[in-house]
Structure 1
Amino acid sequence: MTDHVSPPGPLENVKIFGLRPVEAVAGLVPGGKHCVPIMAALPGLGIETEIVGILHGADGLRILDPEPHGIGHRVLKFFESWGYHAEIIKLYDEGLRKGESLVVVPTAYPGRDDVSRLMAGNGGHAVFYFGVGHVESLTGP
């Protein structure tokens, strides 16, 4: 008898970063199956799907801050630990409240454009590259 092993996939609602992610593209994509084509295309860009994080729903918000505070506090605390701008916090907070998924794809700086095009091509927005000490907007809000 052979055991069936599922192929590796993204880490859904799992905290994949410590205090501050670096070298990652993060963006909002519509809820539902919009993440499926993104995950399917990442190996073609040389990115293993098991290193990708997807946050959505109430569980995703709890990952941002396990303490029982409001959504805004959770998102604010998470992004303050990264040291980034309040506008990004507002965009991601709004997206998560609307049922969108926050997809975080670790990638080096040269790979950021391909990942952002992939996200945008699948309805993604508010896509940013989080580098060492800087943030770069890759799409509009």
Structure 2
Amino acid sequence: MISIAKLSLPQFSATILAMIDTFLVPEKTVVNAKGDGPAIDVSSAANRVFLLTLNITNIIEQQSLDVSIFGSADGAAWSPKPIMMFPQKFYRAQHPMLLDLTAHSEIKFVRAHWEVNRWGRGTETPMFEFHVTMREVPTEILKEAAAEVKALA
């Protein structure tokens, strides 16, 4: 004989917010001229601090890549100046940076912009394969980091 017991679980209500984890520049993007990534809506973010990672996966020599991030209130009109810039890059690697929008409540959308340059011998056309990821940083991690900084001060 099999006996099945009923479990009674307390009722609870929770709102689960999806953390933003997306691409500002899609994976395996190959560029040889300046351009822009898609507009990404960040208005639903529970926390307005993001880890952006520029990942350069393929290059040719003697060229540079400049990637900057622009903000917008409506996804159509973009800030005249970037809200964040990665340092100029020349080689394959991963380059993480934090984007803190806590003081910019008017920004509802972000997008990446890139410019490339080539010099020296060979073809004059630059070529970079790269992508940029964007991950919302959980509040717990920010609190932990702030506590650690305070303890070290």
TM category, shorter: under 0.3
Larger Rg: 2
Q: TM-score, normalised by structure 1?
A: 0.26
The structure where helix makes up a greater share of residues is 1
Q: TM-score, normalised by structure 2?
A: 0.25
The structure where strand makes up a greater share of residues is 2
